[in-house]
């Protein structure tokens, strides 16, 4: 099932590049899935790591995800998928609330994604400086607000022993990137 999800995502994102680089897009979902795999999470959550941007960024639908990977993976991908017809601020506020109120698996998926995005952003900032911000729908201050809000919401409802190491890594990277 995991290899099938990796193959499906690779095919779906074929020809796509990351926003700030010429890196093939599929590298991002692979890294997200790998973060989840290293934590020992379920095969469904790892599959969702590979597939988390498929509905948002390709012609595939949630029905396609469910038909190929079942209702659990579909539910995880659905929780992570933004409605791109809505304005940036509204979409990001919805994601923050999803993290705040979501299940552990939803939190784990979204934070793994945001951590990888922030790692990529930091590399691009090192290479190109503040010119990188022009590639985003919202600038540095808005990105700072969004990432800090995710970090505040991600531990809601979790006990300290439930918090994965990469959540701490995400918080640390936010400080390094924006402070």
CA distance 129 to 127: 6
| pLDDT attached to residue 69 | 98
CA distance 86 to 140: 20
List all residues 6 or more positions away from 55 whose beta carbon is below 8 Å from its beta carbon.
61, 62, 65, 77, 78, 81
When divided into structural domains, the chain yields a total of: 1
pLDDT tens for each residue of 12-21:
999 988 876 7
pLDDT tens for each residue of 70-129:
999 999 999 999 998 999 999 999 999 999 999 999 999 999 999 999 999 998 888 888
Sign of the dihedral through C-alpha 121, 114, 116, 70:
negative
Label residue 177 by pLDDT band (50, 70, 90).
very high
pLDDT tens for each residue of 46-85:
999 999 999 999 999 999 999 999 999 999 999 999 998 9
Is residue 1 classed as helix, strand or coil in its secondary structure? coil
| pLDDT attached to residue 124 | 87
Contact between 154 and 170 under an 8 Å Cβ cutoff? The reply is yes
| pLDDT attached to residue 131 | 82
Both tokens of 127, joined, read 């290479």
Q: What is the CATH number of the domain that holds 142?
A: 1.10.3210.10
CA distance 162 to 150: 17
Contact between 133 and 139 under an 8 Å Cβ cutoff? The reply is yes
Annotated catalytic residues are 56-57
Domain limits for position 78: 2-178
């Amino acid at each position: 099932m995991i290899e099938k999800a990796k193959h499906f995502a690779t095919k779906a994102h074929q020809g796509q590049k990351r926003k700030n680089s010429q890196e093939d897009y599929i590298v991002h979902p692979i890294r997200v899935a790998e973060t989840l795999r290293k934590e020992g999470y379920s095969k469904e959550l790892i599959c969702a790591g590979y597939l988390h941007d498929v509905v948002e960024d390709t012609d595939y639908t949630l029905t396609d995800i469910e038909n190929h990977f079942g209702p659990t993976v579909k539910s995880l991908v659905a929780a992570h998928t933004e409605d791109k017809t809505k304005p940036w601020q509204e979409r990001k506020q919805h994601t923050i609330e999803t993290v705040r109120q979501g299940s552990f698996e939803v939190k784990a998926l979204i934070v793994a994604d945001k951590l990888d995005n922030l790692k990529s952003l930091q590399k691009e900032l090192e290479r190109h400086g503040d010119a990188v911000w022009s590639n985003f729908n919202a600038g540095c201050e808005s990105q700072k607000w969004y990432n800090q809000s995710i970090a505040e919401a991600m531990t809601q409802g979790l006990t300290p022993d439930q918090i994965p190491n990469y959540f701490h890594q995400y918080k640390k990277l936010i400080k390094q990137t924006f402070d």
